[in-house]
């Protein structure tokens, strides 16, 4: 498995397993367990996925040493601000059943992000988190918040796939050596991405499936990817993208598919307020 060294020196496996929209309980536990059995060592979850505890159960049952795993979670909007974030970080650690998280992210960049970031910096200094980053930051949002940070984000987890290649924010991130993490690396079925004839042709040439072609493009572009699936054959194949390489011409052809827009625009007015009405990560405490 390839690794990428983040701007804080932490090494992260370039391909992992995403758990977004996998229901909590047995579905998450089984999917994570299978991914780990296939050699995956990078698991991505979040408070607002409501499956941190199940990720933790699967990890403990796997027998894989904690130091051989890379576990990511994310702080939700309800816990932004300095004091709430401290509690949110400890809640994620408790649910996961771990002493530290390898990466912890600002999940949605709205509200008291600077206060939450300060708590994350303190947790990093205390050894509760190895690396801290952000998610869904556009150029506008980055410029509003990141100049206030003492620590530069190690990653920005954003929508990224051949139809949405995020050139503007990637250029800004490169200045700070902030790595790109791709959510929806396979497009989540959006826009007919996986039906592109170019991918079918390349899949035939390399004897791979279309998903592997898309993931290989992203890996060669330097992205960290964690495709989600609950299907064993897909979980396994998504990890098998390091035994072939696309040519320069093929990479250029895929870059030309960029539409400059995707499923989600974080700059949409009122989106942060809407998210607060959609997810209540403290519902079980009421």
Residue ranges of domains in the chain, CATH in brackets: 3-285 (3.20.20.100)
Give residue for tokens 């072609």.
Answer: 213
279 tagged catalytic: no
Q: Is the CB of residue 72 less than 8 Å from the CB of residue 104?
A: yes
Which member of 20, 34, 49, 206 is catalytic?
Answer: 49
Mind listing the pLDDT tens digit for each residue in 148-189? 999 999 999 999 999 999 999 999 999 999 999 999 999 887
Six-digit token string for 89: 């970080």
Please give the residue that has the higher pLDDT: either 229 or 82.
82
Mind listing the pLDDT tens digit for each residue in 106-159? 999 999 999 999 999 999 999 999 999 999 999 999 999 999 999 999 999 999
Q: What is the pLDDT of residue 286?
A: 65
Residue 72 pLDDT class (50, 70, 90 cuts): very high
Decide if pLDDT at 1 tops 90.
no
Decide if pLDDT at 250 tops 80.
yes
Mean pLDDT of the chain: 96
DSSP label at residue 23: P
Residue 224 pLDDT class (50, 70, 90 cuts): very high
Q: What is the pLDDT of residue 192?
A: 87
What's the rounded Cα separation, in Å, for the pair 181 and 42? Answer: 12
Decide if pLDDT at 195 tops 90.
yes
Lowest mean pLDDT among 40-54, 111-125, 221-235: 221-235
Decide if pLDDT at 204 tops 90.
yes
């Amino acid at each position: 498995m390839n690794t990428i060294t983040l701007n804080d020196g932490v090494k992260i496996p370039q391909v992992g397993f995403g758990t977004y929209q996998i229901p909590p309980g047995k579905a998450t536990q089984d999917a994570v367990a299978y991914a780990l059995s296939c050699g995956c060592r990078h698991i991505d979850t979040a408070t607002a996925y409501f499956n941190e505890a199940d990720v933790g159960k699967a990890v403990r049952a796997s027998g894989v040493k904690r130091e051989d795993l890379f576990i990511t979670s994310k702080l939700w909007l309800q816990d932004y601000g300095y004091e709430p974030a401290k509690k949110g970080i400890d809640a994620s650690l408790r649910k996961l059943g771990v002493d530290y998280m390898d990466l912890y992210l600002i999940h949605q960049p709205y509200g008291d992000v600077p206060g939450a970031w300060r708590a994350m910096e303190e947790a990093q200094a205390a050894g509760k988190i190895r690396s801290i980053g952000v998610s869904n930051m556009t150029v506008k949002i980055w410029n509003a918040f990141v100049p206030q940070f003492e620590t530069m984000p190690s990653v920005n987890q954003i929508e990224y796939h051949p139809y949405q290649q995020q050139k503007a924010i990637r250029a800004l991130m490169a200045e700070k050596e902030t790595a790109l993490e791709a959510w929806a690396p396979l497009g989540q079925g959006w826009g007919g991405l996986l039906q592109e004839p170019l991918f079918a042709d390349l899949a035939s040439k390399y004897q791979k499936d279309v998903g592997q072609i898309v993931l290989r493009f992203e890996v060669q572009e330097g992205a960290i990817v964690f495709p989600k699936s609950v299907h064993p054959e897909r979980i396994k194949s998504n990890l098998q993208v390091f035994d072939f390489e696309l040519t320069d011409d093929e990479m250029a052809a895929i870059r030309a598919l960029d539409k400059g827009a995707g499923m989600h625009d974080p700059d949409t007015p009122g989106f942060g307020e809407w998210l607060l009405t959609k997810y209540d990560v403290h519902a079980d405490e009421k």
